[in-house]
Amino acid sequence: MKPTRPADIYLRFLQLTEALRGLPTLPELDPLEERILALVARARQANLRLSVRDMMAKDQLGSPATVHNRLKSMREKGWIMLTDTEDTRRKQVDLTPAALLHFDKLSQCMLNATGA
């Protein structure tokens, strides 16, 4: 049955994404890691390069030590990867193929929720 109101579509999307959480995929992220993931994904979409230093300089994410610890955790969980730049002392933060696959699955949930 096709949802009749925008709220129905959104609630169906939430239901579908909740089902994704039950599947064996990447480990869950805490709220700060979710924010960092969204920031990295938006930068990637805009073809911007974010370095570890860039991320640590973002005051809205907390102290540099907190950000560094979360980046390390996200890397260990398989959400992000650090790649070399022209300056070997700087590392670029990017999404892993597994994280991109997760976004693909979320997109499919969105399409399914709308009945497309």
pLDDT of residue 35: 94
- Listing from the earlier edge strand, what are the strands of the sheet with 91-95? 50-51, 91-95, 80-84
pLDDT of residue 2: 55
Beta-bridge partners for 83? 92
Is the Cβ–Cβ distance between 17 and 106 less than 8 Å?
yes
Residues of the chain where predicted confidence (pLDDT) is lower than 50: none
Predicted TM-score of the model (pTM):
0.81
Q: Give the pLDDT confidence of 84-98 residue by residue, as tens digits.
A: 888 777 899 999 999
pLDDT of residue 116: 66
pLDDT of residue 6: 83
pLDDT of residue 67: 94
Is the Cβ–Cβ distance between 77 and 30 less than 8 Å?
no
